[in-house]
Structure 1
Amino acid sequence: MKSKLMRPTLLALLVAAGLAGCATTTPPALELPTPQGETAPAELGQWWQSLNDPTLNALIDEALAHNADVLIAIESVGQSRATLRQAKVALLPDVNATLNATRRNPSDETSQPGQGGTSNVFTGGFSVSYEIDLWGRVWKAKDAALANLLASQYARESTRSAVAAQTARSYFALLALDAEEALLTQTLATRDEAYTLQQKRYSAGAAGEYELKLAEAERASVAAALPQTVAAREKAEAALAVLLGRSPKAVIEGHVARGNGLAVLAKAPEIPAGLPADLLTRRPDVRQAEAQLAFADASLDEAKRRYFPSLTLTGFLGGESLELSDLFSAPARTWNIAGQLLQPIVGMAKIDAQVDSAKASRNQAEISYAQTARAAYGDARSALATHRGAREALIATEARADAQNKVKELADKRYKAGVSSYLDQLNAERDRLAAERDRVSALQARLNALVDVYQALGGGWSKEALAKAD
């Protein structure tokens, strides 16, 4: 008889042993370039300090402390950390203090001699339940929670990196609008003087209506562009205030401090050539994808171990009596110890579905990891190319602006000397204004390209900052 009872358990153990061989395989290595060991840019973690603008540093610090997306990411880390604590507690015995009161009236069929009628039964003490982790299922659940915590930490650092970069870009856009507003204001003042002069010349008969209307039209074109630029600047200030996580009142007021101008900021150090390829593997989004793959691996292993039988030990130490006052007396003392070996049979189909779901999640995580790594190298190549183009474009644009300023100066002299017409002077002024506006755009593009490179290389966070935050 004993032999027959042992057969299901032995069969279950053999099935479990066979399934134990179905371990999760390590994902194939990605084809990444071989590191060459060149020196990387100093202090990628806080790349904005290389721009030497205390105002920008303060704005980014403010954003990292108060931006809503950063705060949400921090709370997500806290949630993942709590999940890890739950997984660790599952490795410990479950101990509870219990106190039960039962009023019963057994039937004539089940009552013992001398115990008929209604009675009260009180039970109290300590109960213990512990699942012996024979197959490492609970440990795998803990490993999965740990990987999930790491992924959430890298997600937080990825958010911080993105917020720092966006703050810098928004600040550059604001400085560009400031420069354009100043340029248009100065130009409008010049056009006002020119229009007033043409009015006087027209009244004196020294100029025709054509010159007068031409001066009026040129003044009106600048006067129309100026309020649009002012509105864009106010909109940019409000958007930056929201990005910084400021209060609604501060957003309405919209004032954002300014530091160095675009021309000063654009003198930032160049990106060194020949960066090591493994620099990109430090990007927080790549690390996050890697941690998510580890989480999926551990989750799949944990799901497979549900096929195995579970062994649970339970115990109770306390008292049992018919009167509450006698519950903890010596005669009422009671204890028990029990063990349970549970092997899923009908529930195998449910476990099959859970394993299939975990496999699909793991495969998705592997594909996502590979794609994130590819995208990192694509971002770096694109950012470096854009930076090179922006730098060369800025050199050419500045040369053009300097030349157009000289042309305007010569055109003014020629007009006053009567050598050239007023139309020639206006054309020179139009070209100068367009060249100066292009200079502002080129300065902004150069700085944005620099930010893109730092972000593509994984700038904006560091392992030290990760350790301090935790």
Structure 2
Amino acid sequence: MLPQGRVFRCWMLAATMLAGCARVGPDFQPQHETWSGQWTSEAIGQASEAGDQPDMRQWWQVFNDPVLEHLITEADANDAGVRIAGLRVMEARAQLGMALAGRYPQMQQAGADAMYVHSRQSGPTAQTARVWEYSAGVDVGWELDFWGKFARAIESADAAYFAAQANHENVLVLLHAQLAQTYYALRTAEARVRIARENARLQKRSYEITERLFKAGESDELDLQQAKTQYFGTLSSIPELERQIALSRNAVAILLGRPPGPIPELGEASGKEGVLPRIDRAILQDVPANLLLRRPDIRAAEFQIAAQSAQIGVAKADLYPSVTLVGSIGWSATSLPGTQNGLLLVGGPSLRWNIFDYGRIHNNVRVQDARLQQLILTYQNDVRVAAREADDAASGLLKALEREEILREAAYSAERSLTLANTLFKEGYSDFQRVLDAQRALFAQQDAYLVNRSNAVGYLIDLYKALGGGWYSEQPLVDPATRDQMRQRTDWGDLLDEPPRTPPTSNNTTAKATGSQRQ
């Protein structure tokens, strides 16, 4: 039996050896391509200017639409994708806790036995014995982290935890962009319905006039049928637009965590029915390259590389021998008269080495390395795709703003043409065909103008999304009701608690839309 002092010195020696262990496997290296640090875009340069507003984390405030802001707040709290992403952060936090346990003895087992023994012997000296035997002990095994196996596992779990946080932010980016796109698609359809109804009203009057003239014998049937065709053609576009409104409304409801159906906040009482913001150039606070690399999905991809890089070290550690400090303290006793209780103390190192693995460990290292290279290529491609998305959105915004000026003039000219055509027809200087042509042109130009306004809004939202805007939410990762439900099932300790987050300020900026809220 070893003296307690010697046992203590053995454990101190083990701790010292642990502190000096080396880590096998590669250290994480950022995989930024050369161009990504200096990348810029001519389209983004032309579609933007430097400025301080708005805050990139809550870019939707630039539209000055309280209804949209309310919907986004509700979506943050109730959208299933966001809630699941928050729970995955908690899962990654628990997995990190499992990895951290590798710093301590891996085996800590206590056991106790109580056995009743009844024996009987036959023969001339037959005897019967009834004995109780008792034993209790504690076994400890601590594998020394000579090769950094457990340290690499902690490194991997730590990177995976930060990747889960970045993925949660990316879900918010996608949610906010999708909700804003769907919301303004609904407002666009409402505005197009209004324009269609106004033009249908004008065309109905023309149809009624030609009908009276035809019945009075002052016009031929061709004018009547053409006016009727145009009126009913315009009228037929309304049901399709109303269907688009219903689809958009249901899509918004799902994002809000509601069943499909009416959304009172979107009604006439909101004062925003059929209203589209007028878009100006984007305002950027930082260079596009930096904005791209801070996108949540790009950061998540980089954290995944770091996590997988550490897994190579975990696999490589199996190539080397493992040294484990084992110890056992036991006590035993029986109920036989005259016997003594026994105390046993055992401790010492144990070495294990897989010397014949037939290539299993080497191939596992190769598997981990191949997975790492896949993630590196995926990350580099994700950066290229992000740059393309930003450039496409900026180009679309530029051209939509250019086209808006043209379509505005075209819509004004069409309205003026209809006024002149009506005047000439009433005074008998032209036939009714010119009135029909002017009405058709007016409806087409007004509708094209609205569609282009909607496209401009969509391109601005795409630019925010491409630059990673909208990752902030005031909602906790796990809502209180879910947290209480989980704690009733499982002891989560303090893992479900969240540190306070910094609220958005006006100094973190990427894009802005300005201008009138009227059409």
TM-score (ref. length: structure 1): 0.84
For the residues of structure 1 that align with 2:374 and 2:130, how far apart are their CA atoms? 62
Contact 2:291 2:468 in 1 (8 A): yes
Please report how far the alpha carbon of residue 330 of structure 1 lies from its aligned counterpart in structure 2 after TM superposition: 8.9
For the residues of structure 1 that align with 2:162 and 2:345, how far apart are their CA atoms? 44
For the residues of structure 2 that align with 1:118 and 1:310, how far apart are their CA atoms? 45
| Higher mean displacement: 344-353 or 146-155 | 344-353
Contact 1:307 1:344 in 2 (8 A): yes
Given the superposition, is the C-alpha separation of residues 39 and 443 from structure 1 closer, same or farther in structure 2, using an over 3 Å criterion? closer
For the residues of structure 2 that align with 1:149 and 1:89, how far apart are their CA atoms? 16
For the residues of structure 1 that align with 2:23 and 2:194, how far apart are their CA atoms? 73
Alignment partner of 1:253 out of 224, 238, 262? 262
Contact 1:178 1:233 in 2 (8 A): yes
Partner residue of 1:425?
Answer: 435
> What letter corresponds to residue 85 of structure 2 in structure 1?
A
| Higher mean displacement: 262-271 or 211-220 | 262-271
Given the superposition, is the C-alpha separation of residues 125 and 186 from structure 1 closer, same or farther in structure 2, using an over 3 Å criterion? same
For the residues of structure 2 that align with 1:268 and 1:65, how far apart are their CA atoms? 31
For the residues of structure 2 that align with 1:180 and 1:264, how far apart are their CA atoms? 11
Write the mapping of 1:365-404 to structure 2, written as runs, cut at 5 A.
Answer: 365-404=375-414
Given the superposition, is the C-alpha separation of residues 21 and 228 from structure 1 closer, same or farther in structure 2, using an over 3 Å criterion? closer
Alignment partner of 1:407 out of 417, 424, 435? 417
For the residues of structure 2 that align with 1:104 and 1:90, how far apart are their CA atoms? 41
> What are the superposed Cα offsets for residues 13-36 of structure 1, whole Å, 9 maximum, x if unpaired?
xxxxxx977645736541124389
Partner residue of 2:505?
Answer: none
Please report how far the alpha carbon of residue 361 of structure 1 lies from its aligned counterpart in structure 2 after TM superposition: 0.8
Matched, 1:100 2:113: yes
> What are the superposed Cα offsets for residues 356-396 of structure 1, whole Å, 9 maximum, x if unpaired?
11111111111111111222222222221111111111221
Contact 2:187 2:276 in 1 (8 A): no
Please report how far the alpha carbon of residue 55 of structure 1 lies from its aligned counterpart in structure 2 after TM superposition: 0.9
For the residues of structure 2 that align with 1:185 and 1:464, how far apart are their CA atoms? 41
Contact 2:333 2:340 in 1 (8 A): no
For the residues of structure 2 that align with 1:221 and 1:352, how far apart are their CA atoms? 72
For the residues of structure 2 that align with 1:135 and 1:464, how far apart are their CA atoms? 43
Matched, 1:302 2:314: yes
Contact 1:40 1:275 in 2 (8 A): no
Please report how far the alpha carbon of residue 273 of structure 1 lies from its aligned counterpart in structure 2 after TM superposition: 9.3
Partner residue of 1:3?
Answer: none
For the residues of structure 1 that align with 2:289 and 2:24, how far apart are their CA atoms? 37
TM-score (ref. length: structure 2): 0.77
Partner residue of 2:33?
Answer: 30
Matched, 1:82 2:94: yes
Write the mapping of 1:208-219 to structure 2, written as runs, cut at 5 A.
Answer: 208-219=220-231
Aligned-pair identity in percent equals 27
> What are the superposed Cα offsets for residues 223-280 of structure 1, whole Å, 9 maximum, x if unpaired?
211112112211221122112221x2xx133555255467651245633598352221
Please report how far the alpha carbon of residue 448 of structure 1 lies from its aligned counterpart in structure 2 after TM superposition: 0.4
Provide structure 1 residue ranges, at least 5 long, that are not aligned to the other structure.
1-18, 107-115
Partner residue of 1:454?
Answer: 464
For the residues of structure 1 that align with 2:26 and 2:219, how far apart are their CA atoms? 93
> What are the superposed Cα offsets for residues 64-117 of structure 1, whole Å, 9 maximum, x if unpaired?
2222222221222221111111001121224333223457799xxxxxxxxx98
Given the superposition, is the C-alpha separation of residues 207 and 463 from structure 1 closer, same or farther in structure 2, using an over 3 Å criterion? closer
Between Structure 1 and Structure 2, how many residues are aligned?
439
Partner residue of 1:113?
Answer: none
Please report how far the alpha carbon of residue 427 of structure 1 lies from its aligned counterpart in structure 2 after TM superposition: 0.6
Write the mapping of 1:288-367 to structure 2, written as runs, cut at 5 A.
Answer: 288-323=300-335, 331-347=341-357, 349-367=359-377
Partner residue of 1:205?
Answer: 217
Partner residue of 1:442?
Answer: 452
3-state SS of the aligned residue for 1:388? helix
For the residues of structure 2 that align with 1:346 and 1:400, how far apart are their CA atoms? 81
> What are the superposed Cα offsets for residues 116-158 of structure 1, whole Å, 9 maximum, x if unpaired?
9896543224332222212211011011001111111111111
Contact 1:53 1:259 in 2 (8 A): no
Write the mapping of 1:58-207 to structure 2, written as runs, cut at 5 A.
Answer: 58-93=70-105, 94-101=107-114, 121-207=133-219
| Higher mean displacement: 175-184 or 64-73 | 64-73
Matched, 1:244 2:253: no
For the residues of structure 2 that align with 1:82 and 1:227, how far apart are their CA atoms? 52
| Higher mean displacement: 94-103 or 381-390 | 94-103
Given the superposition, is the C-alpha separation of residues 180 and 382 from structure 1 closer, same or farther in structure 2, using an over 3 Å criterion? same
Given the superposition, is the C-alpha separation of residues 401 and 41 from structure 1 closer, same or farther in structure 2, using an over 3 Å criterion? same
> What letter corresponds to residue 203 of structure 1 in structure 2?
K
For the residues of structure 2 that align with 1:243 and 1:21, how far apart are their CA atoms? 46
Contact 1:38 1:276 in 2 (8 A): no
Contact 1:103 1:121 in 2 (8 A): yes
Matched, 1:232 2:241: no
Given the superposition, is the C-alpha separation of residues 103 and 420 from structure 1 closer, same or farther in structure 2, using an over 3 Å criterion? farther
| Higher mean displacement: 118-127 or 277-286 | 118-127
Please report how far the alpha carbon of residue 443 of structure 1 lies from its aligned counterpart in structure 2 after TM superposition: 0.6
Please report how far the alpha carbon of residue 321 of structure 1 lies from its aligned counterpart in structure 2 after TM superposition: 2.0
> What letter corresponds to residue 322 of structure 2 in structure 1?
S
Contact 1:263 1:443 in 2 (8 A): no
Contact 2:28 2:310 in 1 (8 A): no
> What are the superposed Cα offsets for residues 289-328 of structure 1, whole Å, 9 maximum, x if unpaired?
110110111111111112122121222334222359x9xx
3-state SS of the aligned residue for 2:345? strand
3-state SS of the aligned residue for 1:200? helix
3-state SS of the aligned residue for 2:217? coil
For the residues of structure 1 that align with 2:431 and 2:287, how far apart are their CA atoms? 55
> What are the superposed Cα offsets for residues 169-197 of structure 1, whole Å, 9 maximum, x if unpaired?
10111001001111112222222222222
For the residues of structure 2 that align with 1:432 and 1:197, how far apart are their CA atoms? 19
Please report how far the alpha carbon of residue 167 of structure 1 lies from its aligned counterpart in structure 2 after TM superposition: 0.6
